[in-house]
Structure 1
Amino acid sequence: MSAEVVLDGDSLTPEDVVAVARQNASVEVADDARAAVRDSRERVEDIVESGQAVYGLNTGFGQLVNTRIEREEMRELQANLVRSHASGAGRELDIEEVRAMLVGRLNALVKGYSGVRESVVDALCALLNEGVTPVVRSRGSLGASGDLAPLAHLALVLIGEGEADVETGGETERLPGGDALAAVGLEPLDLAPKEGLALINGTPLSAGIASFVVVDGERAARAADAAGALTTEVTMSTTANCDPAIHDARPHAGQSTVAETVRALTAESEVVESHRNCDRVQDAYSIRCLPQVHGAVRDALQHLREAVEVELNSATDNPLVFDAADVDERAVGTSAGAVLSGGNFHGEPLALRLDYATSALCELAAISERRTDRLLNPNVQEHHLPAFLAAEPGRHSGFMIPQYTAAALLNEIRSLGRPSMDNTPVSGGQEDHVSMSLQSAYHARTAVENTHTVLGVELLCGAQAVEYLPGDLALGRGTEAVYDTLRAVVETLDADRALSPDMDAAADIVARGVLDDAIDDAVDGFK
């Protein structure tokens, strides 16, 4: 992944967002995008000069849309908009969340439909590249008109107000907004007409956190395949359920991919071969239906990825500024530029799919927890496995309680609401239908994080079960890599010990993609 992300308004990916947010990749704006920004600003200035009433330039906001603002008050209007909308509550966003929001807002602005000056673009770039992170409260967005309150807290720093955390000399210091800008050689912006609205109107926080959900969720899906394949082996189950003939007969894309992945992970497994002709007729659903369930989760996450990739590269503020030649004659504007009011700030395309992803991740955690039970439960586990995988069941409890924790985390995911189903009209009824996309993003992120730990518990139990395999049977190429990766960070459980550190370590190799890298090295074409 590049140490620099070039923003052109068209090609930002969830992986790029992660690079900027978590790995501190720097950003640069492409020359063509800068030209589009300049052209858009010229159109705004031409419209302002015309004296026409245009929302966001010389009118009030929301229900106050019919209040006309005089020319000498336009700059004050933009600053007051930012100040008044910086009214969030709740916890402060962490640094990666703010950086994700920043890069998303910046990429939307450089598409050239928002009418900001190039100096605004440069200021946002500087915040990212110089390690200035505005202090942003997490609650307040309704997902229409986008993430207003969080974005306003961000924009407050650009006008020299609010607070920001500044990285200098390897340490972070919290400073007033103006001092934070001065620390990196910046002056506060005097916002011109349209700029305050362009900064706070849109979905970049929803899309930024959704980017985390995509990347982290796809890692969870791959880890679930790895954990499930290992559990299949150590419970002496069959991989016949992954035969291509089954999946060609029901060709869902995710299902076929998962079946192929499990076959690759267990390739050359002596464990699988050792009981190919056993008298067991069928395995339990949590193993036999693994491709169908995991595959459906993959398809749901792909559905989310498609929406996120579109959203990251869209103009999501309002109103939007166009070349007059490109729009219908009914648009407000001049011969140079036209302004159209619409609803691209509405987060519904993200909200619905984020809620879908939360449901999908819940199922991924649920089937993993059931496989963990089959590894531990003396009423259903295979005869070669001791109760709860304890060296001396009774005197030791083994992995009994990690399953409790997995069940608790699963319950939390199940208890998460589906915010996109809710609606509360605001702004005197002018904004009478909202998406709640940010709350959907928060819930989906919680679901991902919980799922990482649930999968980590299954991986721990699967690795422990390897110690009880009969004979000296070799695991598959991929599952051997899974086992070795676990054992690099977690020792075999020879006697009871506090297992929280082991669970954290297992969840971490899932969350950071360490497991992906290890399997990639062992299995060609791991998906």
Structure 2
Amino acid sequence: MIEDPADLDPASPARIELAPALLDRLAATRTAALRTLASGRPVYGVNTGMGNLSKVRLTEDEQRVHQRNLLLGRAVGGPPWLPPEEARAVLIGRLRTFLTGDAAVSVELVQALVALINSGEVPDIPAEGAGSAGEIIPLAHAFASLDPGPKEGIALLAGIPGATGRAALHAANAHRLVERLSAIAAGAIAVVGANRDPYRPAVGRGDAVLASELARLRELAGPEEEPRSLQAPVSFRVAGHVIAHVRRTVRQLDDAVERAFDGVTDSPAYLDGEFVGTAGFHGIDLAAHCDHLTAALAHAAEVSVARLHRLLDPAVTGLTAQLAREPGPQAGLVAVHKRAVATAHQLRRLTLPTAISTTETSNGQEDVQTFSWEAVGNLGDAIRLTRGTAACELLAVRQAFALSGRPVPPGLQELLRAVDDVVPPIAGDRPFGEDLTRLLADVLRP
């Protein structure tokens, strides 16, 4: 039973039921808002047109169809559509913002939205092409099946609930991914016998996130043995700093998501008994933090790819070239590294900040955008691609342990058992893409 809007989690598949007291508060706000509308004062998008047409006052007959027309005329998107879990996150994001009361929508619309979410059926929502201040195009598709009353069409289109819901989902997936990044990096450190000096507690001074990550790597990698060299390659030595940075940026995105959900993003919003035009739809805070995490993941992926390359080098590992059982007749995992290189290159192209392009729309009424919808889309792709590079390194770590005869440290045994459950021992060349597909589906799934 949801009693507080903050209890709604876009990453949760649970059925939603709203507390009666919460619905009563929304009903009271709706009654007051309708009374305000009855005064006849101009309210943007309700008794006026939208965008550059906001100077046009609507007759009562025009107002009766206007809210539905707002949805119809803005559904200009098309494939590719969002994956079902992201489409659900958009719906939950909209519901959570409605529960603040800012949109002043009816209990009936809220209940219709809850029913849509609980049905398990999700609408087709375009993943691309939201070139406006806010995200009116994807939201028009998301809520095309709903029947809006006074002020409710514009409420369904307002703000950045879709990007916020999707960002919450991606942040939850990123938290799970970063745990795997730590374990895989620790496996690489352990299997090559890397010098543990870079992971000493004193190195984390002044940075609690880094200190915690270094402790995690020490624990997972197990007891230190005589190192193979005075210094391991940089990609091994910086593992703690790189992954700590990812952790920090995920937490910062968590905070940005909460600000977006708790703040005022509707426009017009019903605040202190009147309708107020706002600019919360701009979404720069959310877009910037999505971009930040995308860049952090791109760096983590590149470092992972570099470690993978070193794992194929006998000078670093003391093992056979390219981790082949019989180098020469067998190529080993060299092509796995090539796939990882291509994946990291694709990821790198996502790191251009999204909020650096300003293009006028609506005859100049909307003259800047942050493209937060695109920023969160890039982040979803970055998480998927980072999982791809992680799978490549994980396969190499498992093969390196198999060839070295080193015992798997206790902290890594569960992970490598999971690998063994889906990837048979590597005795020779084979279609390693099939192994990577199984790792992504069963071991590194979101």
Tell me if TM exceeds 0.5.
Answer: yes
Whether 1:349 and 2:296 are equivalent positions in the alignment is: no
Question: 1:310-354: CA deviations, max 9, x gaps?
Answer: 22344422101123xxxxxxxxxxxxx211111111121111111
SS state at 2:275 partner: strand
Q: Percent identity?
A: 31
User: What one-letter code is carried by the residue in structure 1 that aligns with 2:20?
Assistant: D
CA contact (8 A) 1:33 1:112 kept: no
Whether 1:229 and 2:186 are equivalent positions in the alignment is: yes
Q: Partner of 2:260 in structure 1?
A: 311
Distance 1:123 1:153 in 2: 16
Whether 1:261 and 2:250 are equivalent positions in the alignment is: no
Distance 1:370 1:99, change over 3 A: same
Distance 1:316 1:7 in 2: 21
Q: How does 1:75-474 map to 2 (within 5 A)?
A: 75-142=64-131, 144=133, 146-158=134-146, 189=147, 191-248=148-205, 251-267=206-222, 269=223, 272-273=224-225, 275=226, 280-323=229-272, 337-378=273-314, 380-383=315-318, 385-416=319-350, 417-470=352-405, 473-474=406-407
Find the partner of 1:491 among 424, 431, 439: 424
Question: 1:59-90: CA deviations, max 9, x gaps?
Answer: 11111111111223212110111111111134
User: What one-letter code is carried by the residue in structure 1 that aligns with 2:210?
Assistant: Q
CA contact (8 A) 1:107 1:313 kept: no
Q: Which has the higher strand share?
A: 1
CA contact (8 A) 1:207 1:308 kept: yes
CA contact (8 A) 2:419 2:443 kept: no
SS state at 2:408 partner: coil
Distance 1:486 1:105, change over 3 A: same
Find the partner of 2:438 among 505, 518, 523: 505
The root-mean-square deviation of aligned C-alpha atoms, in Å, is 1.7
User: What one-letter code is carried by the residue in structure 2 that aligns with 1:488?
Assistant: D
Distance 1:63 1:314, change over 3 A: same
CA contact (8 A) 1:85 1:148 kept: yes
Question: 1:195-225: CA deviations, max 9, x gaps?
Answer: 0000111212211221232122222221111
SS state at 2:316 partner: coil
Shift, 1:396, TM fit: 1.0
Distance 1:508 1:313, change over 3 A: farther
Distance 2:194 2:171 in 1: 31
Question: 1:98-119: CA deviations, max 9, x gaps?
Answer: 1110011011101111111110
CA contact (8 A) 1:365 1:410 kept: yes
CA contact (8 A) 1:40 1:322 kept: no
> TM-score normalized by structure 1?
0.81
Shift, 1:29, TM fit: 1.9
Shift, 1:510, TM fit: 4.8
User: What one-letter code is carried by the residue in structure 2 that aligns with 1:26?
Assistant: R
Distance 1:310 1:35 in 2: 25
**Structure 1 unmatched ranges of 5 or more:** 159-188, 324-336, 514-527
Q: Partner of 2:33 in structure 1?
A: 44
Question: 1:399-434: CA deviations, max 9, x gaps?
Answer: 111111110000001112322222212111111111
> TM-score normalized by structure 2?
0.95
CA contact (8 A) 2:265 2:278 kept: no
CA contact (8 A) 2:131 2:371 kept: yes
CA contact (8 A) 1:456 1:506 kept: yes
SS state at 1:132 partner: coil
Distance 2:341 2:94 in 1: 38
**Structure 2 unmatched ranges of 5 or more:** none
Distance 1:233 1:101, change over 3 A: same
User: What one-letter code is carried by the residue in structure 1 that aligns with 2:180?
Assistant: A
Distance 2:333 2:31 in 1: 66
Q: Partner of 2:10 in structure 1?
A: 17
Distance 2:268 2:10 in 1: 25
Distance 1:382 1:121 in 2: 59
